[in-house]
């Protein structure tokens, strides 16, 4: 039975704006207060999805969350009609309104950590949604993420969608952005590589942390995810991220390394002990796959300084398989605009000694200004043909669904959005109308709580 990796991208939501909410994400912080274009952001994301589908990479779509999050604002003490809640929040706590209006759920690399059926003890595909406790605006996402995952992966005999890891900041989990699966091919046994920033419950001296920006992923949370996803001991390893790169703006591991099948590309400053990390990966990968060799591509600081890696999002690229032993690296246009990164990529492809045969460049400025590149926008899910046939047809990107989604965006999204617009009751009405239409288009039913209000048609 054929098994392939399917990339599920998050649709950018109608409230896409620049509130600079993500401390430690330099791009997000630097664009705070800028005017956004939700329509352009959504169309840029869809164009990337379509291009990958055209390359032969199976492509799925996750719908955005409802924003502004009125239920959260009400729990925070704002009362009255929807319009009254928005007006009071804008007047009394504009930062809370901005947080409850964030479209950050488009970065579905943080939605969950996934283990395919070939790797799990019960033979099901497992999803553990991230708790995202490090940032308030993201911590409100898990309930809707679970509803979406359970609507898309609805067959409980084949799929298991767990609750997030509990435990507050000590158990912070940011999902697949700190997880990489390595295997000779997607359908073969995989090694799950978890990267953490700190130990939450052990001796502090044994795990030095960053000093400027907080670590978002704990070792204990990564271990809990591995247990939740029913991974055997031989199938995973845990490695600490270099605290220095976190302080330099590497808030997730997918900003400093990327892997796909038998290829692992990383910056030489990525880990606390890079030599030991690579040795462990090679050893466990080989032991799991009968002596197979992992292809490791080390990017030296002398070729691509850390600042250039963070600025360009070189490692927040999508490394995808387009044929047997053939891969394409999907990068943001910022890589082309950063001279040393562009030179590295040219030499990588010209060398011909790795499976990476092509680099594809995409303009994702709207997402990049908020701190999310190509890898942030997708969740990787390895599925067999039988498992893929169980998905609702409307979540699979085809020529027909792509055209329908483009028209949906053009019909419902604004071209300009400012912080003041977040208090506009008509924006909430527009968003709900858009999501109503989207759930029908995608065949997902009543996915949002606002659709289930008694008496609502």
Scanning the structure block, which residue is given the tokens 């970065």?
A: 107
Query: What distances in angstroms separate CA 6 from CA 302, 316, 322, 379, 398, one per listed residue?
Result: 35, 18, 12, 8, 13
What distance in Å separates the CA atoms of residue 266 and residue 10, rounded to the nearest whole number?
25
pLDDT above 70 for 205 = no
- Answer yes or no: 174 catalytic: yes
Where does 314-377 have alpha helices with state H?
333-336, 339-351, 365-368
- Answer yes or no: 156 catalytic: no
pLDDT above 80 for 355 = yes
Query: Minimal CA–CA distance to 240: which of 208, 284, 266, 279?
Result: 208
Query: What distances in angstroms separate CA 338 from CA 41, 43, 259, one per listed residue?
Result: 22, 24, 22
Please check whether residue 172 is in contact with residue 133, taking contact to mean a CB–CB distance below 8 angstroms: yes
pLDDT tens per residue, range 388-400? 999 999 999 999 9
pTM of the predicted structure, to 2 decimals: 0.94
- Ordered domains of the chain (ranges, CATH): 3-67+102-452 (3.75.10.20)
Helix (H) or strand (E) holding 277, with range, is helix 274-288
pLDDT at res. 29: 54
Pairing of strands 3-10, 318-323: unpaired
Provide the CA 19 distance to its chain's centre, in angstroms.
19
pLDDT at res. 211: 74
- Candidate from 40-54, 368-382, 423-437 with smallest mean pLDDT: 368-382
CA angle 89, 92, 95 (to 5 degrees): 70
Options 366, 376, 387, 412, the catalytic residue: 376
pLDDT tens per residue, range 146-159? 999 999 999 999 99
Scanning the structure block, which residue is given the tokens 């239920």?
A: 71
pLDDT above 60 for 457 = no
Please check whether residue 260 is in contact with residue 52, taking contact to mean a CB–CB distance below 8 angstroms: no
Beta strands in 100-215 (DSSP E): 112-115, 125-129, 159-161, 179-182, 191-196
Options 65, 126, 252, 267, the catalytic residue: 252
Options 174, 220, 261, 366, the catalytic residue: 174
Number of H helices, E strands in the chain: 17, 15
Scanning the structure block, which residue is given the tokens 């599920």?
A: 8
Helix (H) or strand (E) holding 379, with range, is strand 378-384
| Helix, strand, coil percentages in the chain from 3-state DSSP, rounded to 5 | 40, 20, 40
- Answer yes or no: 192 catalytic: no
């Amino acid at each position: 039975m054929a098994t392939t990796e399917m990339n599920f991208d998050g649709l950018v939501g109608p409230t896409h704006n620049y509130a600079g909410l993500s401390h430690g994400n330099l791009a997000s912080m630097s664009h705070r207060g800028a005017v956004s274009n939700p329509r352009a952001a959504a169309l840029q994301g869809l164009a990337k999805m379509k291009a990958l589908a055209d390359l032969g990479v199976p492509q799925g779509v996750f719908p955005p969350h409802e924003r502004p999050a009125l239920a959260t604002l009400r729990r925070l003490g704002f009362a009255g009609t929807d319009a009254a809640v928005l007006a009071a929040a804008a007047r009394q706590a504009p930062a809370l309104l901005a947080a409850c209006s964030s479209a950050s759920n488009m970065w579905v690399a943080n939605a969950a950590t996934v283990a395919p059926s070939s790797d799990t003890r019960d033979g099901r595909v497992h999803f553990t949604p991230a708790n995202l406790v490090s940032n308030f605006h993201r911590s409100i996402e898990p309930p809707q993420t679970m509803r979406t995952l359970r609507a898309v992966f609805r067959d409980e005999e084949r799929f298991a969608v767990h609750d997030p890891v509990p435990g507050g900041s000590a158990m912070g989990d940011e999902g697949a952005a700190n997880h990489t699966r390595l295997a000779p091919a997607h359908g073969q046994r995989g090694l799950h590589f978890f990267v953490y920033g700190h130990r939450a419950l052990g001796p502090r001296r044994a795990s030095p942390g960053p000093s400027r920006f907080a670590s978002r992923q704990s070792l204990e949370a990564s271990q809990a995810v591995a247990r939740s996803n029913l991974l055997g001991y031989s199938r995973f390893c845990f490695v600490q991220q270099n605290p220095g790169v976190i302080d330099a703006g590497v808030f997730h591991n997918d900003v400093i390394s990327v892997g796909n099948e038998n290829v692992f590309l990383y910056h030489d400053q990525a880990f606390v002990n890079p030599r030991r990390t690579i040795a462990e990966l090679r050893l466990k990968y080989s032991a799991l796959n009968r002596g197979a060799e992992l292809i490791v591509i080390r990017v030296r600081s002398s070729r691509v300084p850390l600042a250039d890696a963070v600025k360009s999002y070189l490692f927040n690229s999508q490394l995808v398989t387009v044929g047997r032993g053939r891969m394409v690296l999907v990068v943001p246009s910022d890589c082309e605009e950063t001279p040393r990164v562009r030179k590295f990529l040219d030499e990588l492809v010209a060398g011909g000694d790795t499976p990476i045969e092509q680099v594809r460049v995409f303009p994702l400025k709207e997402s990049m200004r908020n701190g999310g590149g190509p890898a942030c926008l997708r969740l990787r899910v390895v599925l067999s043909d039988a498992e893929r046939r169980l998905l609702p047809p409307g979540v699979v990107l085809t020529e027909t669904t792509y055209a329908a989604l483009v028209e949906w965006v053009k019909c419902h999204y604004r071209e300009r959005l400012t912080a003041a617009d977040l208090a506009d009751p008509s924006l909430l009405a527009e968003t709900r109308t858009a999501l109503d239409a989207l759930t029908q288009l995608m065949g997902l039913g009543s996915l949002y709580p606002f659709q289930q209000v008694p008496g609502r048609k």
